[in-house]
Amino acid sequence: MQEQDNQTPVVDSDIVSSDTVNTDTPVAETATVEAKEVATTEEAAEVEATEAAASVVDAPVLEETPEPVVEPVAAEPEIERESMEFDAIIVGGGPAGLSAAIRLRQLAIAAGNDEFMVCVVEKGSEFGAHTLSGAVIEPRALNELIPDWKEKGAPLNVPATEDRFYYLNSATRSTKVPDSLIPAPMHNNGNYIVSLGNVVRWLAVQAEELEVMMFPGFPAADILYNDDGSVRGILTGDMGVAASGEAKASFEPGYELLAKYTIFAEGSRGHLGKRLISRFGLDKDSDPQHYGIGLKELWEVAPEKHEQGVVMHGLGWPLTETGSTGGWWLYFDENNQVSFGLVADLSYHNPYMSPFDEMQRLKTHPVIKNVLEGGKRISYGARALTKGGLNSLPKFTFPGGVLVGDDAGFLNPAKIKGTHTSMKSGMLAAEAIFEALQAGREHDDVVAYSTMYKESWLYQDNYESRNFSPAIHRMGLFMGGAFTFIEHNLLKGKMPFTLHDNLPDYDQLERAAHAYQPTYPKPDGKLIFDKLSSVFISNTNHAEDQPTHLKLTDPTVPISVNLPLYAEPARLYCPAGVYEVVKDAEGAKFVINAQNCVHCKTCDIKDPSQNITWVTPEGGGGPNYPNM
C-alpha cells in the first residue's frame, strides 16, 4: 500500500499537498480584495504604509482582464498508472544528481553487478536547461569522480588566471582591494571559468554511457511512501491537465517510479525536499536556512575589452543604499563572452528593494559599464541558492532516501561556490546507498552517508565557512568582512567559536511605511533592460492551459496583508515579472503571470506571510538556458 503526499485525488498532481499547506481555500491565479475593504489594526504608521502601497497599485494596470478564480476539479480516484522499479532513483539532473548517478553505476560495474538500475528524472526539457551559475568551479570533486575528464572533453577550458576584488563606494567611485587583503576563500588559483549548464550536459553524457536511465522533461510531482512511512519513490507529473483541473484529450498520467532508495537533488528550495524536511523534522536541530537570489546575464563584449581568465568580484553599492548585502561578479570566459551577475541575500530588510533592478543599476557603475558597454546581452536567468552553510544544514538522511547538493545546503558561502560541494555530496550519498544495497538493506535510514560526510573534505570545507553568512547578516558588510578576513586569512578557518543567525529570511522585512524607496534607472535596451525582455532571452515557456504551479494558501493575503504592510514585495523580489498588483473599478488585484516563471523559487522563500508554494508545472516547462 502506497501513501502519497496528496491526500485528495486530483487530476492536477501539482496541487499543494495536504502535509505542506492548508488547502481548505482553493488556490487562485487572481486574488481580489476591493481597496475600500482593505483595513488593518496597525497604528498610524501602517496607515501610511497603506497609502504608499496604494501609490504602487496605481502604477501598473493590466490591459486585459485577469483570469477568473478557478477551483481544482477532482479526478477519478482510480487513475491507472504505470510503475517502474529501480535500485535507486535520483530526482534532479544537476551536478549533485548526475554525480550520484555516475558513482552508483561506477560502483555497480566494479562489483560486477551490471544489472544495477539507476534512473534520473529532470524537470527541464533537457539536462542543463534549468542550470544557472556564475560559474567558477573547483575541479576537486570532478577529479575524484572522473579522473580523466580532460581526455573525455569536459568543458573546463578557461583556467582562472587573475583575481580582482572591488569595493564600490558609490555610484561612481570604487576601491580595488589589494591581493593581500582579499579573503582567502575568494582566491581562484586552480579553478576554471565554465558554463555550468554545459558541464551538466557533459555529465549527462557520461551518465548515459554508464547506462543510467535518463528522463528529461519528467518533473517529480509527489513522493510515494511505504506503509511504515519510509520513502518508496516518486510520482512524476501528469501531462495534459487543463487550467480547470480537468483532463484534456492529450492527458497522460504520471508514472510511479519505485526504488529501494531515492536521492533528492532538486537544487535550492526543492519542493519535495522542503516537504521531506518538514515531514521528518530534519531541521529541528539546525539554524533556519538562508538563501540568496543569483541573477545572471551572459554578454559578448568587444575583443579589446575581453581578458580571458580574469575573475572579478565586488561588494558595496548599490546594495548598500537599501541596507542589503550580497555581491557581484564578472567572469571572462572564452569567445569574448563575459558572465555578469549579482547575488542578493534574501535576508534583506527593505520591501522596496528589487534584486533585478539592483542588478540593472549596478551596470551603470564605471567598473561594470566599462566592460559591458557596446557589447551584446545574450542570455538572462535567475535562481535561488542555499547559503546558510553548516549551521543551517538539516539532517539529510531519512527512511528510504537522502538529500544532496543545494536541496540540503552544502554550498560554501565564503567561496560562493557550490558545484564541487554538490558533486561530492552526491558521490558520498551514492557510496553509502550502494553499501546499504550490497548488505541487502532497503528503505532504511542510510546513516553511513552522515558518517562519510563528517570524515570527508566536504565537511571540512563547510566547517571552515560556517561563520561567513551569520557574520555578514549580524555584523554588516564592514565588520562581517573584517571578521571573515581574520577567520580565513589569519586563523585558517579555525575560529574558536560559532556564530548563529536564527531569524528566517521571510521574517526580516521592515514595514513599508518606514522603508526607503530607491530610484532605479529606466531601461535603454542597450545596457539597462526590463524584466519581460529579460525573460524572453531566458527562453522560458510553459503550456498555457495548465493549472498554475504557484499556489496561494490564502488568496486574500497579498492584498489584505502584504500590500498594506510590505507594499506587496512579490512584485519586486520576483526577477521575472510573475507577480503584479493591479487596480481596476473593482479594486486591487494580485495577478500571477505563471508563464513568466524562471523557477528561481524566490517567492517560496521570501514571501513574508509564507503564503506562496512553488510546485512543478507540466514537464519541460520553464527556462531553457543556453550556455549558462
What span, in angstroms and rounded, lies between the C-alpha atoms of 198 and 191?
Answer: 16
Q: Single out the catalytic residue among 236, 600, 602, 616.
A: 600
Kindly tell me the sign of the dihedral angle through the C-alpha atoms of 235, 236, 240, 243: positive
Q: Single out the catalytic residue among 23, 230, 379, 419.
A: 419
The alpha carbon of residue 394 and the mean position of all alpha carbons in its chain are separated, in whole angstroms, by: 17
Q: Which residue has the cell 492536477?
A: 12
25 is catalytic: no
Strands, E assignment, 539-610 = 550-552, 579-584, 587-592
Q: Single out the catalytic residue among 195, 339, 538, 574.
A: 574
CA angle 576, 345, 307 (to 5 degrees): 80
Q: Single out the catalytic residue among 421, 597, 613, 616.
A: 597
> How far apart, in Å, are the Cα atoms of 367 and each of 253, 344, 526?
52, 19, 17
Q: Virtual CA dihedral for 116, 272, 234, 251, nearest 10 degrees?
A: -130
CA angle 251, 259, 18 (to 5 degrees): 60
List the one residue out of 351, 393, 388, 354 whose CA is nearest residue 507: 351
Q: Where are the alpha helices (DSSP H) in 439-592?
A: 448-454, 457-464, 468-485, 531-536, 557, 563-566, 570-573
600 is catalytic: yes
String of DSSP letters for 110-131: HTT-TT--EEEEESSSSTTTT-
119 is catalytic: no
Q: Single out the catalytic residue among 20, 23, 275, 603.
A: 603
Cis status of the peptide bond prior to 564, with omega within 30 of 0:
no
383 is catalytic: yes
Strands, E assignment, 186-319 = 192-193, 213-216, 220-225, 231-236, 239-241, 247-252, 256-264, 291-300, 310-316
The residue length of the chain stands at: 628
450 is catalytic: no
DSSP 416: T
597 is catalytic: yes
Residue 93: how many other CB atoms lie within 10 Å: 33
Q: Single out the catalytic residue among 133, 560, 602, 613.
A: 133
3-state secondary structure of 102: helix
What span, in angstroms and rounded, lies between the C-alpha atoms of 244 and 294?
Answer: 34
3-state secondary structure of 482: helix
Residue 377: how many other CB atoms lie within 10 Å: 19
Q: What is the largest CA-CA distance in the chain?
A: 73
Q: How are beta strands 326-332 and 337-345 bridged, if at all? A: antiparallel
Q: Where are the alpha helices (DSSP H) in 77-213?
A: 95-110, 140-145, 196-209
Q: How are beta strands 118-122 and 83-91 bridged, if at all? A: parallel
Q: Single out the catalytic residue among 105, 383, 466, 571.
A: 383
Q: How are beta strands 310-316 and 326-332 bridged, if at all? A: antiparallel
Task: Name the grid cell of 375.
Answer: 557589447
> How far apart, in Å, are the Cα atoms of 606 and each of 509, 571, 602, 612?
9, 12, 6, 9
Residues that are catalytic: 133, 383, 419, 574, 597, 600, 603
